[in-house]
Amino acid sequence: MTDDPIIDEVRRAGEAFLAQFDFDMKAACDDLRRRTDEARRSGRQVLSLPPKRVTAVAGSDKNAG
């Protein structure tokens, strides 16, 4: 597997962001929601995409085991 400096940078940034919240995912998500709300209130355009449909993969069964 080759090293990609852009992927490495994105992973470092994500790690640093989560470290601010002691890797508490709920706290990190709450912060992102707060920032999004602030951006909307200040008039900035916020992109909102519809959820993607999940399709079953042939041969996969989560209950198998």
Spans of all domains in the chain: 5-41
Which pLDDT belongs to residue 64? Answer: 56
Q: pLDDT at residue 60 above 70?
A: no
pLDDT for residue 63? 60
DSSP 3-43: --HHHHHHHHHHHHHHHTTTT-HHHHHHHHHHHHHHHHHTT
Mean pLDDT of the 30-37 span: 97
Percent of the chain at pLDDT > 90 equals 72
What pLDDT band is residue 12 in, cutting at 50, 70 and 90? very high
